[in-house]
Amino acid sequence: MPKPIVLIAEELSPATVDALGDEFEIRSVNGADREKLLPALAEANAVLIRSATKMDKEAIYAAPNLKVIARAGVGLDNVDTPAATEHGVMVVNAPTSNVVSAAELAVAHILSLSRNIADAHHSMKQGEWKRSKYTGVELYEKTIGIVGLGRIGTLVANRLAGFDVKLIGFDPYVTQTRAEQIGVELVELDELMKRSDYITIHIPKTAETTGMISDEQFAMAKSNLMIVNCSRGGIIDEDALYTALKNNTIAGAGLDVYNSEPPEGSKLLELDNILLTPHLGASTGEAQEKAGISVARSVRLALAGDLVPDAVNVAGGLIDASVKPGIPLAEKLGQLLAGIAHASMTAVEVEIRGDIAEHDVTVLKLAALKGIFQNLVTDQVSYVNAPLIAEARGVDVKLTTDTQSEEYRNVTILRATLGDGSTVSVAGTVTGPKLHQKIVKINGYDVEVPMDENLVVMVYDDRPGIVAVYGSAFADADVNIAAMQIARKSEGGKALSVVTVDSPISASILDKIQAKIKADYIRSITIQES
């Protein structure tokens, strides 16, 4: 019997090949060379890549025997995951391979800033001896604010605790109990900005987190504040950071990530009180070796037909055909649920109603959890690790089914209990021969709007003229409304508006609308395709 063919498309650590073992025929190709890659894929059962090989639809469909694409790293920007799923190809990566390296780099930035190590080193190289110029500060008894208490943020907290510091944290999706377990006092972002001597960022970049630390936040900070971002570029407004550093509003900053990389022409390069590194978060020999070994093991499991812990999609052949259309819907509903939640979740219920409930719909629960956590944690979220993330965050998860559905043939309902005791809920369905995804209920309000990329959800007292107010605000901001629906439970009570727009809405516009219509809440939610 011939051995399965594993194609290695980029240079990987020798440990990767060792981890594969001798059960496979190993072939190599330069994945960046399309003319060589495409023919080499024709017989491949698995392909191992890093960042240079583009596994797009053309490459995937050039590989009729392909079972798994393995990315030896965290990112999947170079893999067309929807095309792979459609073709029944599993996609795996190494989501935890760099977490230690990333956490250690953040700590290294903090220490280097504290003791002026980079500048002092450069001075020594110039033949200078300026001890007094590079007098630093101790971490001892300082207050360190951690923005984001996911896996990397938790590792940073663990490592900094040894310096006898006071740890405070901001993460709206982490419970007080979880924060206490890792020795962090949970606070709001404004309080963290005011109290911290150091701040380190460990959150994903989303529409809500982009520019979340800007002029307003820096104005609250201590003059001795040093801020570090080794997470995602753009979470700190770079223009605001430049101004704060230039005017000595804060003392220093360390960046490993940027709005655009490399940051050519950035004004930050002109400053002396900033430490800059070229996106080194995963650039350690250990991280790269871990990534290679991790994906090699995943390839072995995938080709053996076993459960793959780091799979980021679901192989098509394992799920009933009637259930498949519900997978992207459930994932998007999860994103919507997370978007309207105003506090951390303590429990999530996934209810599936209709004829698809006759089949195994466990994958819909996994998809919903993936959607919920997709923009809430820095970790790569997969169908397999999503329940583990929920467990780590103290979130109880329940799946219920009912073959009866009164209004729609099939409906997926997500409910969440929040830390303050309140609940939020969303529901959706897939309709028609073209499998259109629709939102049919939000927090008990009946709606029927398409599941679009950019959504605005608002609740306010039902009264005349509200639509004109927010419609005018959108028009003034050159934001086009694609669809809209207003729902209410009773005349003169609360009304809920769901608006789909062609582009994301900035926080400043939402704040203006909320003030004008006196909304109970208003949320802008960007739904991402998996």
Q: How confident is the model at residue 22 (pLDDT cuts 50, 70, 90)?
A: confident
The residue that leads in pLDDT, 395 or 206, is 395
Q: Is 232 designated active site?
A: yes
Please state the rounded mean pLDDT for residues 173-198.
92
Q: Are residues 442 and 408 in the same domain?
A: yes
> Where a domain ends, among 276, 306, 335?
276
E strands of 355-503, at which residues? 396-402, 410-418, 423-431, 436-442, 445-450, 454-461, 481-488, 494-501
Q: Are residues 61 and 131 in the same domain?
A: no
In a domain, 447, yes or no: yes
How, if at all, do strands 521-526 and 454-461 pair? antiparallel
Q: Is 109 designated active site?
A: no
Q: Which residues of 4-13 are buried (b: 16+ CB within 10 A; e: fewer)?
A: bbbbbbbebb
In a domain, 169, yes or no: yes
H-only helix segments in 419-518: 466-476, 507-517
Compute the mean pLDDT over every residue in the chain, rounded to the nearest whole number: 90
Active-site pick, 23, 261, 270, 407: 261
Q: Are residues 260 and 309 in the same domain?
A: no
| CATH code for position 353 | 3.30.1330.90
Active-site pick, 151, 195, 202, 232: 232
**How much is the pLDDT for 342?**
87
Q: Which of 73-87, 305-319, 394-408, 421-435 has the lowest mean pLDDT?
A: 305-319
* Segment of 264-278, 392-406, 482-496 carrying the highest mean pLDDT: 264-278
pLDDT at 368 over 70: yes
> Where a domain ends, among 268, 298, 315?
315
In a domain, 58, yes or no: yes
Q: Which residues of 363-374 are buried (b: 16+ CB within 10 A; e: fewer)?
A: bbbbbbbbbbbb
CB atoms within 10 A of CB 321: 8
Q: What is the pLDDT of residues 455-475, one digit of tens each?
A: 999 999 988 888 898 888 888
Q: What element of type H or E holds 346?
A: strand 345-354
**How much is the pLDDT for 318?**
57
> Where a domain ends, among 252, 276, 300?
276
In a domain, 281, yes or no: no
Residue numbers of the domain that contains 38: 5-94+287-315
Q: What is the pLDDT of residues 33-45, one digit of tens each?
A: 999 999 999 999 9
Phi-psi region of 499 (alpha: psi -120 to 50; beta: other; left: phi over 0): beta
Residue type at position 205: K
Active-site pick, 34, 87, 159, 279: 279
**How much is the pLDDT for 530?**
66
If we measure between CA atoms, which residue out of 497, 422, 499, 405 comes closest to residue 453? 499
Q: What is the pLDDT of residues 92-115, one digit of tens each?
A: 988 788 899 999 999 999 999 999
| Burial tier of 30 (Cβ tally within 10 Å: 0-12, 13-18, 19+) | middle
**How much is the pLDDT for 508?**
85
CA angle 378, 170, 512 (to 5 degrees): 100
| CATH code for position 478 | 3.30.70.260
pLDDT at 53 over 60: yes
Please state the rounded mean pLDDT for residues 172-198.
92
**How much is the pLDDT for 224?**
97
pLDDT at 317 over 50: no
Q: What element of type H or E holds 334?
A: helix 326-340
pLDDT at 485 over 70: yes
Signed CA dihedral, 401, 407, 410, 415: sign only: negative
If we measure between CA atoms, which residue out of 442, 357, 346, 443 comes closest to residue 398? 346
**How much is the pLDDT for 242?**
97
From residue 291, alpha-carbon distances to 15, 17, 232, 274 in Å are 10, 12, 20, 31
pLDDT at 400 over 70: yes
Could you tell me if 386 and 405 are in contact, meaning their C-beta atoms sit under 8 angstroms apart?
no
How, if at all, do strands 396-402 and 410-418 pair? unpaired
Q: Are residues 189 and 307 in the same domain?
A: no
Please state the rounded mean pLDDT for residues 230-239.
94
Q: Are residues 206 and 106 in the same domain?
A: yes
**How much is the pLDDT for 483?**
86
| CATH code for position 249 | 3.40.50.720
- Assigned token pair, 520: 């109970």
Q: What is the pLDDT of residues 336-347, one digit of tens each?
A: 999 999 888 999
Considering its fold, how many domains does the chain have in total? 4
E strands of 171-218, at which residues? 185-186, 198-201
Q: What is the distance between the alpha carbons of residues 351 and 333, in angstroms, rounded to a whole number?
A: 12
In a domain, 282, yes or no: no
Signed CA dihedral, 269, 272, 274, 278: sign only: positive
**How much is the pLDDT for 125?**
93
Q: What is the distance between the alpha carbons of residues 112 and 252, in angstroms, rounded to a whole number?
A: 11
Q: Are residues 410 and 423 in the same domain?
A: yes
Please state the rounded mean pLDDT for residues 207-229.
94
pLDDT at 528 over 70: yes
Q: Are residues 112 and 259 in the same domain?
A: yes
How, if at all, do strands 25-28 and 5-8 pair? parallel
pLDDT at 443 over 90: yes
Q: Is 279 designated active site?
A: yes
Please state the rounded mean pLDDT for residues 392-415.
90
**How much is the pLDDT for 97?**
85
In a domain, 271, yes or no: yes
If we measure between CA atoms, which residue out of 78, 96, 52, 112 comes closest to residue 277? 112
Q: How confident is the model at residue 148 (pLDDT cuts 50, 70, 90)?
A: very high
Q: Are residues 57 and 172 in the same domain?
A: no
**How much is the pLDDT for 42?**
95
Q: Are residues 25 and 135 in the same domain?
A: no
Q: Are residues 478 and 338 in the same domain?
A: no
- Side by side, the strands of the sheet bearing 90-92 are 25-28, 5-8, 46-49, 68-71, 90-92
Q: How confident is the model at residue 389 (pLDDT cuts 50, 70, 90)?
A: confident
Could you tell me if 428 and 438 are in contact, meaning their C-beta atoms sit under 8 angstroms apart?
yes
Q: What is the distance between the alpha carbons of residues 153 and 131, in angstroms, rounded to a whole number?
A: 33
pLDDT at 46 over 90: yes
Please state the rounded mean pLDDT for residues 251-255.
97
**How much is the pLDDT for 438?**
93
**How much is the pLDDT for 381?**
75
**How much is the pLDDT for 40?**
95
Could you tell me if 494 and 309 are in contact, meaning their C-beta atoms sit under 8 angstroms apart?
no
Q: Are residues 484 and 405 in the same domain?
A: no
pLDDT at 316 over 60: no
pTM metric for this prediction: 0.67
**How much is the pLDDT for 256?**
96
Q: Are residues 417 and 512 in the same domain?
A: no
- Assigned token pair, 120: 């002092």
The residues pairing with 139 across neighbouring beta strands, listed in sequence order, are none
**How much is the pLDDT for 503?**
84
H-only helix segments in 42-135: 57-61, 81-86, 99-115, 117-125
**How much is the pLDDT for 186?**
94
The residue that leads in pLDDT, 239 or 385, is 239
